[in-house]
Structure 1
Amino acid sequence: MLDIKWIRDNPEALDAALAKRGAEPLSAGLIALDEKRRSVVQALQDMQSRRNAASKEIGAAMAQKDMVLADRLKAEVAHLKDTMPAAEEDERRLNAELSDALSRIPNIPHDDVPVGRDENDNVVTRMTGQKPGWNHPAKEHYEIGEALGYMDFERATKLSGSRFTVLTGPLARLERALGQFMIDLHTSEHGYTEVSSPLMVRAETLYGTGNLPKFEEDLFKTTDGRYLIPTAEVTLTNLVAGEILDQEKLPLRFTALTPSFRSEAGSAGRDTRGMLRQHQFWKCELVSITDAESSIAEHERMTACAEEVLKRLGLHFRTLTLCTGDMGFGSRKTYDLEVWLPGQNTYREISSCSVCGDFQARRMNARYRGKDGKGTTFVHTLNGSGTAVGRCLIAVMENYLNEDGSITVPDVLLPYMGGLTKIEKAN
């Protein structure tokens, strides 16, 4: 969430930032709403001050036995008491209206983010690794998995409907191995603290990370008003909600391997074959909580941690800087990692790493106290996938496909596979 004081002081900067994102200017309407709110607040304060003053004047008038003045002052106080509830209700309504309006405004892009309309304007920052050099035909993951007998979409549809997958045997183990490898790497070598957190959260938790109110249609809601998490970013970031941290203890780095649940609203007809776009999938999430000065450097560090997963798996990928028109709602700058999928003959996103500045912290009221102990400042938050397990499984299947249809297990996953070095067709 943006600061209304900043908007009042920098209306042109807000509208310019929104224009970069392809959005209409909003500063004039926000400032007008804030002016109305401030006017009501001032009127209410004036009424409260006058009521207090008149109450004192009543005592003085009665001490002087001026009952006419006392009665007039009593009538004035009674009128103020009758009038103030309506003003208080106006204040609550306008505060809520302004808060809701501010909660729907996207974050301000960093100055070095490329300006563009959509994914076609993203900028390739670097390329890593090589495409597989074999000569046999490439296949898509669902062709490979179904031929091996370990990937079943028909049974998944019978159980849950579309956009679900049933994995069995060694392919299920390979998916589990990938998740374990990721969480072990980030905790043992990258300094992240593993967290086991809830998969269902309250609305205010999703509000803190910016998923609500704007993106409710993307979420699954339970019958008791809770929501299934669309990513562990929601719980990991909100671990510091409402807290005041000591700057010396920053950065905090959290990671979790959890299922994620997304309704995929608006994706009808996209990636309907296979398991690229699912309602339920495993993801290893990375979250950092930093001070204001460290967040940019932490963004580079987090992205490198996600890249390391793909490097150790021997996968070819590219790192993109997203343009303003393709960037997420809460992000100030985002790097996407896109892995090469031979079966599709294209790159597909496997991780997004974003720095959000104090955008989420304002919604969560998460602060830190400086080293001098004077005052508090909103923390900066960052999040990234380290990485999406299902998409990583797809990449391994397609890049490690052998001519006979089997899949070679990448060396880094062998300790998790119980001696299995190759996944072959079921008997």
Structure 2
Amino acid sequence: MAGWLRALKFASLIAVTLACFAPPVRHLETLPTNIDMTTDDDILVPRTSGFRIIHSPEQTRSDFSHPTFVDLSSQQPGEVDIQNRVFGLIPWHTHVHVEQAERVIVGGQAVGIRLSSMGPIVVGFHRTSDGSSPAANAHVEIGDMILSVDKHPVRTATELQQAIRDKRGSIVLTIQRGQRKRDVVVPVPATANGSQLGIYVRDKTVGVGTLTFYNPQTGAFAALGHMISDVDTGRPIVGQGAMYPAVITGVQAGKIGEPGEKKGMFVHSSRELGHIAENTPYGIFGKLDVAACHATGGLREPIPVALPTQVHPGPAVIYTVLHGQKVEPFQVRIENTSRQRTPSTKSLILRVTDPRLLSTAGGIVQGMSGSPIVQDGKLVGAVTHVFVSDPTRGYGVYAYWMLHHTGHDEEPASTALTSGPAKAV
């Protein structure tokens, strides 16, 4: 009896194993539960004998000419609900989310960035004539941004110096620390050189990065793919600025443990390329002069922006400048993608495979941040950071998150540009 039961169990196991390899069961692997697409896309949805579309937008087209797939497209955003029947009996539902297609012009141009903070940022302390720092004694901290002196706004280090020069006794500094504003009372001793707070401040940051994309109709642009922070404090810079054409004069190749760097300079004879309105975890954003941007090179025709779920491991191309102002394509491979349903940085990992880029730069270098990544004819992301342990590899952020960055906050991954000199106040 026991032997008969063992034989029955073994036969059942064999039957279940063989059933798993049967075509109808293997077909289950190809039946998705959720699909994202845009109004630019044609997608092939696996079908069974019981395939039917339950609900769809009015301008949805479906082609049933193929025996195992349905060619689906929609010129209208909305939701499509599909039902298949496995083995002709078991219902299998697929939900298709259709978004309005968005097209932008891919960048790759080297750009000079000048970002000014809303007020002077405290980057250090110094001693005044009495051997101490009045601001430090009043619990002013490194990274604080000074917004006003005795309720009079100050935007620059020079304005701060002028505001306190003839002050006597105590003054009230309105500072911003993180997301909070507060008033700090600072007793200020008079010196032969006027009143001093005993601090070093900086009000601007400059550097060279890469333009990611822009909208040819509105002039809205995105660059860098990450937030700009102050080089001394590491704090994000809250403010606005300007973007200029730049030229790359050389490249210092990266090595293991030593990130490389693009060396560049502003084209001072050129007019301002655009206005920087925001500095966010997903890059810098603003409006540019489309005609002036066309003159700096890059691609001319808009291409679609990929949805995060459409980005996949495989070959891709980045656009960037290695010399002068010439935007060139370089081969890379996307090694890993994150399935992010909400905006986040570090969306993908890529590896440089292009022989010339490896030979010239060693892979990804500083100044390449913002270089657009194109895959399957779509803009999928931007280069953001290099792996210090392997300069051939780095992180990228999805272009879709850059396009829809407003109102999403997270712990920012930031990078410092070359900062301006600090002034003693």
Same fold (TM over 0.5): no
TM bucket, shorter chain: under 0.3
Structure number having the greater strand percentage: 2
Q: TM-score, normalised by structure 1?
A: 0.23
Structure number having the greater helix percentage: 1
Of structures 1 and 2, the one scoring higher in RCO (CA 8 A, sep 6+) is 1
Q: TM-score, normalised by structure 2?
A: 0.23
